[in-house]
Structure 1
Amino acid sequence: MGMSDNDDGTDLLVLLPTDRDHENMGKVDAPYNLHWFEDEDFDYPQPGSDFDMVEYTERASEYVEQADIDGVLFSHDVANLVAGALVDRHDLPGPELEPVFLADHKYYSRMHQPNVPWFDYIDLETDEWGDEPRFPAYIKPPFLTMTLLQYRVEDREEYERAMETVRKELPKYTEPFMDFFDTYVDTERYPLATRDMMLVEEPLEDWTQHCVEGWVDSDGELHVWAISDHNYYDDGSLAIDNYSTPSTLPTEAQEELIDIAREAIVQHGFEESFWNVEIFRLADRHVITEVNGRTASVWEPLYEGAFDTSVYEGIMHLHADNPEQTQAVAPDWEPGSDYETMGTQFHVITFGEGRADEFLDFEYARSVPDTDVEIFVDPEDEIEQTRSSGFWLARFHLFGEDYQEMLDRADEIRTNMLEQPELSPEPERYT
């Protein structure tokens, strides 16, 4: 248990803090005492079976009373569930557990969204899937992150191959969630909360993807922080080339996305929380990808570089019950295609399997002069493919006025990083 002491009398509990949380909250010049509530058994981004989520929640609850905590901070989809339970129990500023659960459990979230595709669930105990399975389909776990165990399947054969991996890998991650839901969620109202299942839904074609991020203040008013674009490779692999902010969509198109996002957040019932809504934009309709009851904290560098502001600072003010300060640090941004500086977050991806140093030049990745490279693996790690979108080896950021120039520079960096570019999306770009 660590503590950052600024002593204005406002004490904030940081739940299951990540390295990113320590780095970004620690550098915010805000007058709050931060209590870092760690757990040695917790692994980010996916908790392993050794992590006891209920025990952690109860221990955190005791600490809230013991230390007279005024608010809770969270940045990911495990910490926000714990936060919801603590908000309910101790009447803290923040989102209640029910809307957080509804957003985190993607099947129930679909039931509280406008603009949904067809969807159903696969019961992993019985293998039942609605009245009649249909293909192609997109399958994903109801509450894991970073596209883990998500697959597009074209037919029964691909489905069975994907489900073989799901049955092997999914139990490694679900136990902490199941125990938590059984303890804190109304399972009579939400019986699928503790069911071993996969969400299955309509796979969409010919779309662009965008993310509206914002917050709800203590009066229930919804605010928009920014809109970002998800830029995919063009080879149909479902691999994300990069995220970029601000969005370059026309004003009217962005305002339509904002309206859809607002409706989804209201339907979920969020209060005093950051949120984001990912949306597919098709020629004839818009379809929500997913709703998240927290910020996309991984985009902190984009917000810093593009807007000279910190979403972490906004979060801290909001959960210290100072929403006017959140508004004060919000980006100076309006929907539209004009911008002064664009931030881009590029990914280094492989579809190969084997030792990580067979795919990534670690020496080069650690020496790139004009960006910050975050490496996700150690050289001796074994890479396995557990999603349709490939394995992320690393990511880095570039900033500027010309998107194509940044894309060209990113491809140059990735060309030097990749040991086997032929196993990456659009390999002809890395030769």
Structure 2
Amino acid sequence: MDVLVICPDAYDAAAFAALRQHRIHLLPADVDHWRPSPRFDVLAYLEAGRRFLRRRRVDAVVSTHDLGDLIAAVLAAEHGLPGPSPEAVFLCLHKLYGRRRENEPIRCEPIDLHDPEPRSPIGYPCFLKPPWLKLGLLSGRIDGPTPLARALIAASAEYAAWARQYRPLFGVAVDADRYPLAMRDVMLVEELVQAPQVTVEGWMDGDTFHLWAITDTNTFPGSPAIDSFTLPSRHPPAVQSRMAARARTAARAVGFRDGFFNAEIWWRNGEPLLTEINGRAAVCFGGLYEACFGRSILEAVVALAGGGRAASTPSHRGIVAGQYNFVTFGEGRVADLIDVEAARATRSLWLLRDPAEHVRPTSAFGVVLAQVELHGMAFEDLDAEADVLRHRLLRRPEASPWPARLVPADAH
């Protein structure tokens, strides 16, 4: 098949190149998936995709990123290719309107970004976040009116730059009169949920749900910052079954069909609660899937996007795997926060930031400097190896959170 990849990054370029049975076409984008990209014109990029599809035959259009997934849905719909509808992907991206499609959503209300005297309509504590964006960007716990006002001021510094990447595309993908808040400067206040979380990965074949995997999200003690993602899930089978059912319900609620998606689910007081649904595969877990299943999720994504079948739910091979984060709450050059040379020499570790970049945390999730993927026969062995690497590579360990299993003397 001829496959057009939207908004590819370096990981995509390498991963899709491994699919040698397909002809892969990357449509380069001057966009950063972690920071606003002022030079990126989303409508000009969409038009470049249209020109490509007019010139060449393409069997499938795919993306592994937020924003890119909606561009891919628009292009596929315009050219009669398989895939979820633009409206369904929009409802995955816009967390407020997605919540409003749920049968039993957690409390979630919009507030004006520029309100000089903001108040939470659901009380405190609550969780503040933008109506779009990923990985906790511009988000965090709020405990009162004064912290809320400060958080809105902080968010407004980057909000406009992010909005110019999303809003023009929303205007193309859906009826703005039906979704007016998609065009306004709003933030969301949500019920604060503190509970174990997983990512349910699956796909919809028409209206039928198929499970791919359930990955555990492990946070640092007393923090929403993410320590690691591990596979297979350590939740009991009955709990995993209910989480998968909740993901299926979430996909159907937004009308998501004929594509891969992932749903983040909390398990609180014996009940699954939807954190959010994303209208794309969590390809960032591709290495974990290959280690544990011996299966490529990109193969399945491309097959489904081309109108075929994604085969079957993978089977575990007895291997455990984890993706471990190098998180900092420090501010400064990346090269001053992590040993770049040693990081580049470490197998299965990749830097997520440019060494010369100046970073500062803008949320309670901190800044993820790097990730390493490990696999073996026991989670305890992976944890120990990750901790050794963090000790060796982090140059300001006191600015990083540490797992309860190991808190170094110079960390707090």
Common fold: TM-score over 0.5:
yes
Aligned with residue 280 of structure 2, among 284, 294, 315: 294
Pairs within 5 Å for 1:211-290: 211-217=199-205, 219-234=206-221, 236-290=222-276
Total equivalences in the alignment: 407
- Report whether the alignment pairs 1:380 with 2:356: yes
- Return the letter of the residue paired with 1:222: F
- Report whether the alignment pairs 1:350 with 2:328: yes
Whether the aligned pair in 1 keeps the contact of 2:109 and 2:121 (CA below 8 Å) is no
Separation of aligned partners in 2, 1:81 and 1:308? 29
Which secondary structure does the structure 1 equivalent of 2:141 belong to? strand
Instruction: Quote the offset at 1:66 in angstroms.
Output: 2.1
Partner residue, 1:424 = 400
Separation of aligned partners in 1, 2:173 and 2:252? 22
Partner residue, 2:11 = 20
Which secondary structure does the structure 1 equivalent of 2:276 belong to? strand
Whether the aligned pair in 2 keeps the contact of 1:46 and 1:145 (CA below 8 Å) is no
Aligned with residue 182 of structure 1, among 148, 171, 175: 171
Whether the aligned pair in 1 keeps the contact of 2:120 and 2:145 (CA below 8 Å) is no
Instruction: Quote the offset at 1:225 in angstroms.
Output: 0.4
Instruction: Quote the offset at 1:127 in angstroms.
Output: 5.5
- Report whether the alignment pairs 1:70 with 2:59: yes
Q: Deviations along 1:222-258, whole A, 9 cap, x unmatched? A: 1110011001112x12111100111111111110101
Aligned with residue 140 of structure 1, among 122, 129, 133: 129
Partner residue, 1:172 = 161
- Report whether the alignment pairs 1:389 with 2:365: yes
Which secondary structure does the structure 2 equivalent of 1:34 belong to? strand
TM-score under structure 2 normalisation? 0.94
Separation of aligned partners in 1, 2:334 and 2:165? 28
Whether the aligned pair in 1 keeps the contact of 2:261 and 2:277 (CA below 8 Å) is yes
Instruction: Quote the offset at 1:46 in angstroms.
Output: 4.4
Relative to structure 1, the CA distance from residue 378 to residue 255 in structure 2 (aligned partners, 3 Å threshold; closer, same or farther) is same
Pairs within 5 Å for 1:323-362: 323=309, 326-327=310-311, 330-333=313-316, 340-362=318-340
Relative to structure 1, the CA distance from residue 246 to residue 136 in structure 2 (aligned partners, 3 Å threshold; closer, same or farther) is same
Which secondary structure does the structure 2 equivalent of 1:158 belong to? helix
Q: Which runs of 5+ in 1 are unaligned?
A: 1-9, 334-338
Aligned with residue 86 of structure 1, among 75, 86, 90: 75
- Return the letter of the residue paired with 1:212: V
TM-score under structure 1 normalisation? 0.90
Partner residue, 1:4 = none
Instruction: Quote the offset at 1:405 in angstroms.
Output: 1.7
Instruction: Quote the offset at 1:81 in angstroms.
Output: 0.7
Question: What is the Cα-based RMSD across aligned positions, in Å?
Answer: 1.9
Q: Deviations along 1:52-77, whole A, 9 cap, x unmatched? A: 11121122123212212222011111
Deviates more, 1:150-159 or 1:356-365: 356-365
Separation of aligned partners in 1, 2:34 and 2:83? 22
Whether the aligned pair in 1 keeps the contact of 2:122 and 2:189 (CA below 8 Å) is no
Instruction: Quote the offset at 1:182 in angstroms.
Output: 2.1
Paired-residue identity, %: 33
- Return the letter of the residue paired with 1:385: P
- Return the letter of the residue paired with 2:244: I
Partner residue, 2:293 = 307
- Report whether the alignment pairs 1:36 with 2:26: yes
Which secondary structure does the structure 2 equivalent of 1:322 belong to? coil
